[in-house]
Amino acid sequence: MAVELGVDNYLISGNGSAVFDIKKQEIIYDRFLTKKQVLEIADICEQNSFFYNVYTEDEVIASSLNYNVLFYHKENLKKVEEKRTHINVVQNIKEYIEQSGKEKFLKITVCDESQFIFNSIMRRLKGIDGIDLLEVEYMSRKKIKSGTEDVDIQYYYTEITNKNVNKWSAIEYLLEKLKIEPNEVMAIGDNMNDKEMIKESGLGVVMGNSNPHMKEIADEIVADNNSEGVLEAINKFVLNR
């Protein structure tokens, strides 16, 4: 996304787990999950046959193309190689992590189509110390192309990060570094992982297809993601067009 937008300063990734200085090509702030935490979460998911995927600095590790990973895969088909999300499909995620030598993990996403099963996932994961779970009470709905038809992907999900990690915390780090006041910030989002930055920024803008709770806390609502809502927000509130 940063490449597509021509961004050359800073990039926040993993829901606020890391801030990357694009010019210096280095991470300047991080709140990564540890390998121990990731393996503990992986154990719970695999013992209960929960679908999950793990995000590192350079790839998404998954056991199959399903749910959010299927969406990324379909989006990749529209992009040139260097702009694609690197999806690494492995036979066993836990074994891959144990053997890979990786030590830094941005977040984990856990998904299921059944609300009953998803609630069971949440109960089990809440027993793990030192992590935060994204509380999402509605199904994620995404559209992908299958031939000439649009196909809905619908599922319940949570995103797991290290404790006290969110996008606004990472933004606050940059605000202090760049001597910018919170009321000078416009945040644009559409999902529950955008909640803190929409509430705390000077101007919180959400997409027209955001869930009702996000619309309640937003200062402004624009068109949806598929109708150039971000462009509308920039034109209206930044460029005054």
User: Per the domain annotation, does 57 fall within a domain?
Assistant: yes
Mean pLDDT taken over the chain: 89
User: Per the domain annotation, does 193 fall within a domain?
Assistant: yes
* pLDDT (tens digit per residue) in 143-202: 676 666 677 778 889 999 999 899 999 999 999 999 999 999 999 998 888 999 999 999
Q: Which of 162, 189, 219 is the last residue of a domain?
A: 162
Q: Which of 134, 162, 190 is the last residue of a domain?
A: 162
Same domain, 212 and 147: no
What average pLDDT does the segment 92-119 reach? 92
CATH of the domain at 187: 3.40.50.1000
At residue 110 the predicted structure's pLDDT band, cuts being 50, 70 and 90, is very high
Same domain, 147 and 79: yes
Domain of 135, in residue numbers: 35-162
20 three-state secondary structure: strand
Q: Which of 129, 162, 195 is the last residue of a domain?
A: 162
User: Per the domain annotation, does 6 fall within a domain?
Assistant: no
Same domain, 62 and 134: yes
Give the total number of structural domains in the chain: 2
1 has a pLDDT exceeding 60: no
pLDDT of res. 147: 63
Tokens for 172? 């606050």
* pLDDT (tens digit per residue) in 70-101: 989 988 988 888 889 999 999 999 999 999 88
Same domain, 188 and 125: no
28 has a pLDDT exceeding 90: yes
